[in-house]
Amino acid sequence: MFTFLHAADIHLDSPLKGLEDYPDAPLDQIRLAARRAFDNLVQLAIDEKVAFVLLAGDLYDGDWKDYNTGIYFVHRMGRLREAGIPVIMVSGNHDAASQITRSLKLPDNVTLLPHRSVGTLHLDQLGVAIHGQSFSSRSVMDDLVRNYPQGDLLLFNIGLLHTSLNGRPGHEPYAPCTLDALRSKGYQYWALGHIHQREEICRDPWVVFSGNIQGRHIRETGPKGCTLVSVDEGRVVSLEERELDVLRWEVCHVNPAPCDSVDSLCDLVREAFENKRSKSDGRPLAVRLIIEGITPLHGQLHEHQLQWSEEFRAVAANLGDVWIEKVEIKTRKSAPQQDNGSDDSPVQTLLKSVEAIQFEQSTLVGIVPEFEKLHSKLPPELLGDGGPFRPGKEELSALREEIREILVARIGQGGRHEN
């Protein structure tokens, strides 16, 4: 019997997005979050006395400014070497973007499987064969699985692969393949990377995305970590998800319906924060607060969004280890907006115009003439999945709704002033 760890998408020294400009944010924890989570991985491997560690791509986060990231990794691999733990890895799309990575000399307990063809590493004492192929470039659109060898019937076979599988929302379709193709190889375990949300695709054989070890922004919420796999007599007998993250991202929804004052709404927000914090096992939280529902405070919330946001930030600050990444106000009025005029009244015409707005890149270029010039100079990381210049349908819909509600609130405020 033996155990091994499966981890992926480490993204060493990747910044956490959304908290950098927060005056009271835990800057050290933000800057070093990926390293501290990786330290937890190394310590877990030592504590569990695992037979080996698998890293399924994207160890790094693109090109480095200097060798410090690589030196850090080599040092941590030295700890595993002293414990007699080998590490087997493939490179992913982010690793392939790094020039320095290619010239880094790895410790002798670390094996990087090749990128020109599929490589196989045999661990004879365990009866294990690990098959894998690294990315040769940042964008690999070929099906790598077709070149993986058939599993040896006398060994425990593991496939190590960085892939989008058959596609996942928010991820580039790199190294696409099918579950049937994976199953056809006769392996007992497929250790996958690239998708940042943990997912067990199949149990016969085991096909697992371990997810990333540390959430980096609000689209990567909840616990993050690795998978501890136990093997006995050539078959997987158990899988355990082990949490490694040091700062957790959460989305906090609050329904303001029962509230009729600032104080009562702040109390409700505080309760929601405390509930999230109680489930984080002592980790600091980065929270997106969404106020959504019908409330008599609707007009005030949209008219004075900045003021309310600061009120909610003060609530979070009082808890000590909660930071608000963003406040979204999606409330509605207690009753439909009444306009005594006809359907083509100025108010209705204005609101219909807002509903018809189509936000596209061309719109941004018109508003900010320098947009296209700036867009062309940005690094690929900002132009990829979830970047600020590729908003999704939900974000565009939310933007239209926010404009609409601000206008409604201000029209109502003007009416009250006239009275």
Alpha carbons 135 and 56: distance in angstroms, whole number: 11
pLDDT at 417 > cutoff 50: no
Which pLDDT belongs to residue 167? 75
**Backbone φ and ψ of 148, nearest 5°:** -70, 140
Provide mean pLDDT across the span 240-266.
93
Report pLDDT digits (tens) over 50-67: 999 999 998 988 666 667
- What band does 188 get if pLDDT is binned at 50, 70 and 90? very high
- In b/e form, how buried is each residue of 249-270, taking b as 16+ CB within 10 angstroms? bbbbebebeebeeeeebbebbb
Domain boundaries, the chain: 2-243, 247-335, 336-419
Residues in the chain: 419
Which of 389-393, 403-407, 415-419 has the highest mean predicted lDDT (pLDDT)? 403-407
Alpha carbons 398 and 406: distance in angstroms, whole number: 12
Which pLDDT belongs to residue 354? 59
- What band does 298 get if pLDDT is binned at 50, 70 and 90? confident
Report pLDDT digits (tens) over 7-38: 999 998 887 887 766 666 666 667 789 999 99
Cβ atoms of 12 and 193 closer than 8 Å: no
Going by C-alpha positions, the residue among 119, 23, 108, 8 that lies closest to residue 313 is: 23
Going by C-alpha positions, the residue among 44, 395, 12, 354 that lies closest to residue 219 is: 395
- What band does 210 get if pLDDT is binned at 50, 70 and 90? very high
The residue ranking higher by pLDDT, 181 or 321, is: 181
Alpha carbons 207 and 213: distance in angstroms, whole number: 18
Cβ atoms of 63 and 99 closer than 8 Å: yes
Which pLDDT belongs to residue 385? 46
Going by C-alpha positions, the residue among 100, 8, 97 that lies closest to residue 58 is: 8
Among 94-103, 109-118, 164-173, 331-340, the range scoring the smallest mean pLDDT is 331-340
Cβ atoms of 307 and 277 closer than 8 Å: no
Distance of CA 405 to the CA centre of its chain: 30
Which pLDDT belongs to residue 419? 42
pLDDT at 404 > cutoff 70: no
The residue ranking higher by pLDDT, 64 or 318, is: 318
pLDDT at 361 > cutoff 50: no
Q: Which pTM value belongs to this model? A: 0.79
Q: Which CATH number fits domain 2-243: 3.40.50.2300, 3.20.20.80, 3.60.21.10, 1.25.40.10?
A: 3.60.21.10
Alpha carbons 140 and 101: distance in angstroms, whole number: 18
pLDDT at 82 > cutoff 90: yes
Cβ atoms of 333 and 294 closer than 8 Å: yes
Alpha carbons 262 and 265: distance in angstroms, whole number: 5
Which pLDDT belongs to residue 342? 53
Mean pLDDT of the chain: 83
Beta sheet of 128-132, edge-to-edge order: 119-123, 128-132, 156-162, 189-193, 206-209, 199-203
Q: What is the share, in percent, of the chain residues with pLDDT greater than 70? A: 74
- In this structure, how many other beta carbons lie within 10 angstroms of the beta carbon of residue 71? 11
